[in-house]
Amino acid sequence: MDSLLFAGSAPSFYQLQQHYYRKQVKYCPRCLEEKGYHRLAWDICYVGVCLKHEVQLMERCPCCQREISIDSLIGGGCNCGCNFAKVMNTMKPDSRIVAAQNVIQRLLIGELRFVDIEGAVTLTAKEYFIGLHLFMKLLDHVPLAKLYPPDVDVSKERLHYNLKGGKRNGDMFLILSTIAHELLTNPSVQFQHIVEQIELEKVAHRSHYSRRSKRELLDRLIADENFHVHRKLYFDLHNQSNDEYVRMLPLFKNKERKYCSVLYARRHILKCDDSHIENFLKMGWLECTERWYGTKKITLVEREQVEKLAEKRARLITTGEVASRLGIHLKMVVKLTLAGLIPMEHGPEKDGFGRRVFFPESVDSLINQLNVVCEYEPEPNQGWIPLTQHELHRQYHHASFSDVVQAVLSGPIRSRKTRESINIFQDVVILLGDLDRFYNFRGKHKKRGAK
């Protein structure tokens, strides 16, 4: 049985707790009365009905509601004095439950080796239990009021698959296994309804559904070729509800994914935070449309538009990257930008964007201009100083780096390059006499100690 329940792999302790009743047992009062009979297969969580008598298995003493241990079952009664064999169990299960239990139990004991499901697909016993387990996990925490459960009296408001130990409930597992069996074998009945409820619950209870487990389960389900009917129903659901709202699955080709959600665009394409998305929408770089899916409002953007923006953003470089390329401080980049020497693509002064970004070509253009105006001189004499902010401030405390660069480009200040090709500003030297004439102050405003 382990090979069926755990897909041939060794079960963990948690899986054993989840799939087996380890400290308590379930029994059929009629089997116990007739032959003192108990089946080990009944201790599996999926099993909850005696098929011979078509009665629901007992898991607690009907008198004191204590869990039933194997020792007390062998002894014939509970500590409270209740005789288990004399219990009149009139809990006849729903026909849907009996049908599901008939398949599950026959597969477990080997009487049935294959199961036919909708879409002319035949599943092996192992494939069936993999699918059953997947659907039961998918149903976890879904409200009972939103489903079409079989007729079982359950006090819980939501389905719970991950309960173990004393918290587990046999009735709950009967409902879970029955609905999971129906979803697996006959998905056209309520598969679309279940998916819709899961999608809506993910929005209504983000604290619980923030993890991607449900989405990953659906992805696994739809990627399996055995469940091609489920895949078609899934796609039809989203296409009927809203042509644009299609989950971004790897199964969709790019041409089929015309629209995507803002969340997907932010995480997987643009790779930015919410504030950036808000700026993109305000500045018109992205155009969004709002759609309603049930009670859920979804903001969608055209995928092609997002990808073009992402391609553009991938080429842009930040102020820090410009500073690194030019070998200057961040503040000097800002001054050069404000002076118009390095055109910025976006920034606070241009379009209100939160940070300044540039195309690499803008930086290369400035370097090319310097290469044109500067003659090559590998070892300049003492009358030349490096074109750096530090050296300018050494000479004139009020010197503006951007003004000097402009003067170098326009001609008032002569310059040379110490390399054949300029890479950073330190490769440029300027004539100190021209700098003096440019500021027209000579030694009057020189810093003390400056030469």
In a domain? residue 195: no
Query: Is the domain of 321 the same as that of 302?
Result: no
90 in the same domain as 177: yes
Tell me the mean pLDDT in the region 398-409: 88
Query: How far apart are the C-alpha atoms of 233 and 230, rounded to whole Å?
Result: 5
pLDDT at 114: 92
* Model confidence at 339: pLDDT above 50: yes
What's the confidence (pLDDT) of residue 442? 40
Give me the pLDDT at residue 31, please: 87
How far apart, in Å, are the Cα atoms of 178 and each of 19, 151, 327, 451?
A: 16, 11, 69, 92
**Structure tokens, 139:** 């149903």
Q: Is residue 241 a part of any domain in this protein?
A: no
Q: Are residues 334 and 379 in the same domain?
A: no
Average pLDDT taken over every residue of the chain: 78
**Residue 239: pLDDT above 80?**
no
pLDDT at 244 over 60: no
Read off the DSSP letter of residue 347: -
Q: What whole-number distance in Å separates Cα of residue 73 and Cα of residue 65?
A: 14
In a 13 Å sphere around the CA of 280, the CA atoms on its Cβ side amount to 23
Question: In terms of domains, do 19 and 46 share one?
Answer: yes
pLDDT at 292 over 70: no
> What is the residue range of 155's domain?
1-187
Q: How many Cα atoms are found within 13 Å in the side-chain-facing hemisphere of 407?
A: 21
Does position 158 have pLDDT exceeding 80, yes or no? no
Q: Is residue 247 part of a domain?
A: no
Residue 163 is predicted with a pLDDT of 57
Report d(CA 416, CA 259) in Å as an integer.
Answer: 55
Judgement on whether residues 307 and 385 belong to the same structural domain of the protein:
no
Regarding whether 343 and 307 lie in a shared domain, the answer is: no
Residue 52 lies in a domain: yes
The yes-or-no verdict on residue 246 having pLDDT over 50 is no
* CA proximity to 85, closest of 58, 67, 105, 49: 58
Same domain, 323 and 262: no
Say how far apart CA 3 and CA 416 lie, in whole Å. Answer: 80
Number of domains observed in the structure of the chain: 4
What residues contact residue 210 under an 8 Å CB cut-off, 6+ apart? none
Q: Using DSSP, state whether 49 is helix, strand or coil.
A: strand
* Residue 199 forms part of a structural domain: no
CA distances from 298 to 19, 55, 245, 267, 288 (A): 38, 47, 8, 16, 10
Q: Is 289 a residue whose pLDDT tops 60?
A: yes
The answer on pLDDT for 447 being more than 60 is no
CB atoms within 10 A of CB 124: 14
If asked whether residues 304 and 410 sit together in one domain, one would say: no
321 and 284 share a domain?
no
Residues 278, 382 share a domain? no
Domain boundary among 293, 325, 360: 360
- Residue type (1 letter), 191: F
Indicate if 20 and 151 belong to the same structural domain.
yes
The predicted model gives 325-337 an average pLDDT of 90
Asked whether residue 14 carries a pLDDT value surpassing 70, the answer given is: no
Residue where a domain terminates, one of 152, 187, 222: 187
Same-domain pairing of 50 and 173: yes
